[in-house]
Amino acid sequence: MKTLEQLYDKNVNCPVCNYEFTTKKVRTRSLRLIKQDTDFMPFYQGENPIKYTVFVCPNCGYAATEEKFDSISNWSKEKIQIEVSSRWKKRSYGNVRNLDEAIDACKLALYEGQLLEESRLYLASIALNIAWLYRLKEDNNEEKRFLKIAKGLYEEVYYKENLHDTNMDEFKLAYLIGELARRLGDIENAIKWFNIVVSKPASNSNPTIRKLAIEQWRFIKEG
């Protein structure tokens, strides 16, 4: 399936400036998962939806993931208008995105998420998304830079944030931190985090993650 056939236009109303715009999304029915890396990065036949996870208002520069885009307080709107919109050079990310444009959109969302003091889990997911995009681009140095940022944020999540009402649990989070550490060459920390998963009987509630942790722990030990 050609790229344009995989995409459709989603109509969006910016909650900051009330500007109406369209942004591309990948049709769910067109998705064909080829494989998934051990840090959960998905690879699809054709367009990868991670390129379109962030919506960017072309008028004011407000950027956030689709799930977060409409959830913005009046304080946050004012913050965006002062810190972003006042300097924004109008441009659109609403067409087919190449990897550089997808990375720019995600970096903008990460910057604004930090400005608005969003949860560390939200910021970590964007940082990981950026690392994945650099993996697609085959830029190893930048991939590792953002894997390190994501790992640091996920560690803060583990110790400081509540995971209720999120798609993350303690064991998936511990596994992911361990896997990011492994990819960064921090073997001692990787083993520590994999052990958190493997050593706790409660991780049986998430057998897929437990199996992954055991496999990666063995991979390190045998390597």
The band of 223, judged by pLDDT with boundaries at 50, 70 and 90, is low
The band of 122, judged by pLDDT with boundaries at 50, 70 and 90, is very high
105-114, pLDDT tens digit by residue? Answer: 999 999 999 9
74-84, pLDDT tens digit by residue? Answer: 999 999 999 99
**How many residues does this entry show for the chain?**
223
pLDDT value at 72 more than 90:
yes
The per-residue pLDDT for 114 is 98
pLDDT value at 1 more than 70:
no
Render the burial of 37-46: b for 16+ CB within 10 Å, e for the rest. Answer: eebebeebee
pLDDT value at 3 more than 80:
no
pTM: 0.95
Residue with tokens 């799930």: 67
The per-residue pLDDT for 126 is 98
Cα–Cα distance measured from residue 107 to residue 199, given in angstroms and rounded to the nearest whole number: 36
Written as one string, the DSSP assignment of the chain is: --HHHHEEEEEEE-TTT--EEEEEEE-GGG--EEEE-TT--EEESSS-GGGGSEEE-TTT--EEEHHHHT---HHHHHHHHHHTGGG-------S---HHHHHHHHHHHHHHHHHTT--HHHHHHHHHHHHHHHHHHT-HHHHHHHHHHHHHHHHHHHHH---TTSS--HHHHHHHHHHHHHHTT-HHHHHHHHHHHHH-GGGGGSHHHHHHHHHHHHHHHH-
pLDDT value at 2 more than 80:
no
154-193, pLDDT tens digit by residue? Answer: 999 999 999 988 889 999 999 999 999 999 999 999 999 9
Q: Give the residue-averaged pLDDT of 186-210.
A: 91
